[in-house]
């Protein structure tokens, strides 16, 4: 009898039990298409349970079809993977703004996550490793199931660095310099481009997942917005700032708050809030208005 | 005791049918089982194959196949439930396990495992009936024009393996007859004796084959004399079942999705194919015959 009770207690503490398990906290679910430009279903908040995965939350809140033994989402609310005009469209998901290294059915939730499904053309960028649209995530509760502190790396950003730090603190981030911290690089592009993660932007969306690049002109650096096809769509003026996220290998996501000039960096730092970043892959700011990237 | 799957020559339509007709007929059950995931169709295929075995006088083999198939199906259900944690309806959470990772037992994984198991069981019943009703020598003879060496090798194996098993039984019996005081006969010694005997026998078989001219490469003309008046019914039954299954598959009669949540729909087409599979099982029936 004592052995049976001990065994039951061991199983209970190991996360075993009958049914879906206890509630572990709310998660948010957003379903959009074309790089977040259009909602496919209303955003919802759902109470996650111990056994919940990204797939189970999606299945509860949308009509889905799957393939490969339930591991791959084929369609959500009737919008299916497709090839149109030689361009490939599929469903991708982000948890706390970070592309998952595992499938939705294998991604276990811990409560508090922001799940974002987006249907997009992935011909120009098969992999977009991190996005800014889940703000205040990943700073508030981390990524891939683990909490991480945030570190603001000021690369000549001046006042923009303190703006970024304040916005992050009020978003719930813990600012601490340690190896596993999520870096937020703040500064003009001429300084940031020497950072290995920021330098990914020079390889285009295929390498960085960011639909923007900096080009040189006789006035110095200029921010260039790219379209969904990865081609240059528009040159912004020198005062245009950029907030984007990328990731190098398996390292933490790296956020870039940058621009061609100090003024551009300041306007980029002012974008660090939920209203400006929500459901966007990256955002440029022009004349105080946010411009979602890629450009449409 | 004779294996229930051993060929049992009888004067019955399926046993008398030509090899091609019998293989096509029983193969059509396996084709449907592999084409469909609908539990209704798979159950109907198993029932049809079972009925074919009973009406052909091979009920013992068919039921033995069903028992083995159900055992295998149960194993598949258990393994699938433990290995696959996909599906919406979580029944049990078993925590983290080495190699398996997180183990959630879901209703969907159990259903998916049950479907794979039912498929295996249905195919095993059809194969058991084939094994008991179709003369293996005639199958090998039919294969000889297309793959002579393979047919010869298979024929030799089908003869020599039972001979080796009989040799082993005799040697064990002889060992026991030496009395309780004698040193027990070890497996190594028994295997050595069997190997020596089988090598001697292989030399004899090779010499016999050479004397009979097997090495001359004489073209074999095929076994044209074995046709039966029953052939047409088996070809028609098997053909109708396979054709209905393929047409139904193309028209979307197989609606079964295990993930992310269970979806089973029995469309009119599903019912027609299920009925066809059961009806096809009556093809070996002979008026006035008694099932075994």
Q: Cis omega before residue B229 (within 30°)?
A: no
Kindly determine whether residue B260 and residue A69, on different chains, have CB atoms separated by under 8 Å: no
Token pair of A201 as six digits: 């932007």
Burial of A63 (0-12, 13-18, 19+ CB in 10 A): exposed
Report helix angle A262-269 to A159-170, nearest 10. 10
Whether residues B95 and A14 touch (CB distance < 8 A) is answered with yes
Residue A187: pLDDT above 90? yes
CA B218 to chain CA centroid, Å, is 33
* Partners of residue A191 on adjacent β-strands: none
Measured between beta carbons, which residues in chain B are less than 8 angstroms from residue A18?
91-93
DSSP SS3 for B74: helix
Question: Using a CB-CB distance cutoff of 8 angstroms, which residues of chain B are in contact with residue A65?
Answer: 257
Interface of A with B (CB under 8 A): 11, 14-21, 50-51, 55-56, 59-60, 64-66, 69-71, 105-106, 108
Nearest chain B CA: its distance from A9 CA (Å): 13
Contacts for A31 with CB less than 8 Å, ≥ 6 apart: A39, A40, A41, A43, A58, A62, A76, A77, A116, A117, A118
Q: Determine contact, residues A151/A267, Cβ cutoff 8 Å.
A: no
Give the tens place of pLDDT for each residue, A213-247.
999 988 889 999 999 999 999 999 999 999 999 99
In sequence order, what DSSP letters do the residues of B100-123 get, joined into one string?
TEEEEEEHHHHHHHHHHHHHHHHH
Residue indicated by tokens 């797939």: A55
In the prediction, which pLDDT does B138 show? 87
Q: How far does the CA of residue B93 sit from the closest CA of chain A (Å)?
A: 5
Going residue by residue through chain B, which has 292 residues, state the pLDDT in tens, using 9 for 90 and above. Answer: 578 888 888 888 999 999 999 999 999 999 999 999 999 999 999 999 999 999 999 999 999 999 999 999 999 999 999 999 899 999 999 988 888 888 999 999 999 999 999 999 999 999 999 999 999 888 888 888 888 888 888 888 878 888 888 888 898 888 888 888 878 778 898 899 999 999 999 999 989 988 888 777 666 665 555 688 889 999 999 999 999 999 999 998 998 999 988 999 988 999 999 999 999 999 999 876 554 4
pTM as predicted: 0.80
Nearest to A21 among B85, B93, B96 (CB): B93
pLDDT at position B219 is 64
The dihedrals phi and psi of B165, each to the nearest 5 degrees, come to -65, -40
Closest by Cβ to B259, choosing from A20, A51, A70: A70
Q: If you measure CA to CA, which chain A residue comes closest to B263?
A: A65
Range from A6-20, A125-139, B27-41 carrying the lowest mean pLDDT: A6-20
Q: What angle do CA A87, A93, A99 make, to 5 degrees?
A: 100
Given an 8 Å threshold on Cβ–Cβ distance, is A50 in contact with B102?
no
Q: In A, which residues are within 8 Å of B85 by CB distance? A: 105-106
Helices of type H across chain A: 2-13, 54-61, 159-170, 189-192, 205-208, 262-269, 274-277
Length of chain A: 296
Q: A23: number of CA atoms within 13 Å, CB side?
A: 6
Reply yes or no on whether the pLDDT at A3 is more than 70: no
Q: Is residue A245 a contact partner of residue A284, using CB atoms and an 8 Å limit?
A: no
Using CB atoms, pick whichever of B88, B94, B258 lies closest to residue A56.
B88
Region A16-43: what's the mean pLDDT? 94
The answer to whether the CB of A110 falls within 8 A of the CB of A24 is: yes
Whether ipTM exceeds 0.85: no
Of B112, B5, B18, give the one whose Cα is nearest residue B65: B5
pLDDT tens digits along A50-102: 999 999 999 999 999 999 888 899 999 999 999 999 999 999 999 999 999 89
Q: Which residues of A touch B107 (CB under 8 A)?
A: none
- Whether B88 sits inside 8 A of A21 (CB atoms) is no
Determine whether the interchain pair B88/A60 forms a contact, defined as Cβ–Cβ distance below 8 Å.
yes
Q: How far is B116 from chain A (nearest CA, A)?
A: 12
User: Looking at per-residue confidence, does B176 or A48 come out higher?
Assistant: A48
Element (H, E) at A254: strand A253-259
How many Å lie between the alpha carbon of B260 and the closest alpha carbon of chain A?
Answer: 5
In the prediction, which pLDDT does A132 show? Answer: 97
pLDDT at B223: 57
| Strand ranges in B49-189 using DSSP code E only, listed in sequence order | 90-97, 101-106
E strand segments, A113-251: 114-121, 150-154, 182-186, 212-217, 220-226, 232-235, 241-247
Band the pLDDT of A260: cuts 50, 70, 90.
Answer: very high
User: How far apart (Å, rounded) are the C-alpha atoms in residues B53 and B48?
Assistant: 9
The pLDDT assigned to B163 comes to 85
**Peptide bond preceding A138 in cis form (omega within 30 of 0):** yes
Tell whether the model's pLDDT for residue A142 goes beyond 50: yes
Q: Rounded to the nearest 10 degrees, what angle do helices B19-35 and B107-133 cross at? A: 180
Triad B87, B110, B32: Cα angle to 5°? 105
Cβ separation A71–B86 shorter than 8 A: yes
- Mean pLDDT rounded to a whole number for chain A: 92
Question: Which of A17, A20, A108 comes nearest B102 by C-beta?
Answer: A108
């Amino acid at each position: 009898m004592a052995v049976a009770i001990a065994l039951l207690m061991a199983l209970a503490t190991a996360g075993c039990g009958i049914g879906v398990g206890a509630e572990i906290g709310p998660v948010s679910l957003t379903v959009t298409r074309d790089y977040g430009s259009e909602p496919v279903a209303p955003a919802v908040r759902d109470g996650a349970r111990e056994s919940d995965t990204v797939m189970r939350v999606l299945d509860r809140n949308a009509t889905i079809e799957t393939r490969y033994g339930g591991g791959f989402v084929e369609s959500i609310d009737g919008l299916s993977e497709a090839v149109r005009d030689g361009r490939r469209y599929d469903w991708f998901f982000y948890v706390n703004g970070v592309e998952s290294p595992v499938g939705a059915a294998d991604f276990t939730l811990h409560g508090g996550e922001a799940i974002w499904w987006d249907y997009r053309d992935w011909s120009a960028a098969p992999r977009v490793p991190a996005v800014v649209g889940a703000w205040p995530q990943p700073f508030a509760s981390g990524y891939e199931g683990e909490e991480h502190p945030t570190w603001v790396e000021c690369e000549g950003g001046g006042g923009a660095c303190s703006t970024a730090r304040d916005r992050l603190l009020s978003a719930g981030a813990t600012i601490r310099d340690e190896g596993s911290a999520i870096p937020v690089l703040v500064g003009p592009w001429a300084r940031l481009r020497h950072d290995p993660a920021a330098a990914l932007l020079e390889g285009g969306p295929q390498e960085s997942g960011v639909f923007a690049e900096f080009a040189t002109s006789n006035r110095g650096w200029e921010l260039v917005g790219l379209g969904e096809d990865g081609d240059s769509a528009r040159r912004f003026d020198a005062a245009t700032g950029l907030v984007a996220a990328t990731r190098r290998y398996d390292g933490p996501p790296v956020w870039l708050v940058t621009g061609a000039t100090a003024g551009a960096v300041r306007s980029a730092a002012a974008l660090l809030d939920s209203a400006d970043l929500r459901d966007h892959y990256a955002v440029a700011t022009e004349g105080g208005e946010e411009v979602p990237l890629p450009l449409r | 005791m004779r294996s229930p799957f051993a060929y049992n020559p009888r004067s019955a339509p399926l046993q008398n049918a030509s090899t091609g007709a019998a293989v096509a007929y029983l193969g059509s059950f396996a084709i449907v089982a592999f084409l469909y995931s609908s539990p209704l169709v798979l159950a109907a295929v198993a029932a049809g194959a079972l009925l074919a075995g009973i009406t052909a006088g091979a009920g013992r083999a068919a039921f033995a196949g069903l028992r083995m198939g159900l055992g295998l199906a149960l194993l598949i259900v258990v393994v699938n439930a433990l290995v696959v944690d996909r599906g919406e309806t979580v029944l049990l959470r078993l925590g983290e396990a080495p190699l398996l990772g997180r183990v959630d037992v879901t209703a969907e994984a159990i259903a998916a495992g049950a479907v794979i198991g039912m498929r295996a069981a249905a195919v095993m019943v059809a194969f058991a009936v084939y094994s008991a009703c179709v003369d293996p020598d005639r199958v090998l003879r039919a294969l000889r024009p297309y793959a002579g060496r393979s047919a010869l090798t298979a024929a030799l194996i089908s003869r020599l393996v039972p001979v080796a098993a009989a040799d082993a039984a005799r040697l064990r019996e002889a060992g026991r007859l030496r009395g309780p005081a004698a040193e027990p006969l070890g497996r190594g010694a028994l295997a050595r004796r069997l190997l020596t005997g089988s090598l001697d026998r292989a030399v004899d078989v090779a010499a016999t084959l050479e004397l009979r001219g097997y090495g001359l490469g004489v073209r074999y003309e095929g076994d044209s004399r074995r046709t039966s008046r029953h052939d047409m019914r088996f070809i028609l039954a098997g053909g109708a079942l396979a054709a209905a299954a393929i047409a139904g598959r193309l028209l979307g009669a197989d609606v079964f999705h295990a993930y992310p949540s269970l979806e089973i729909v029995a469309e009119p087409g599903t019912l027609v194919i299920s009925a066809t599979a059961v009806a096809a099982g009556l093809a070996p029936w002979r008026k006035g015959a008694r099932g075994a």
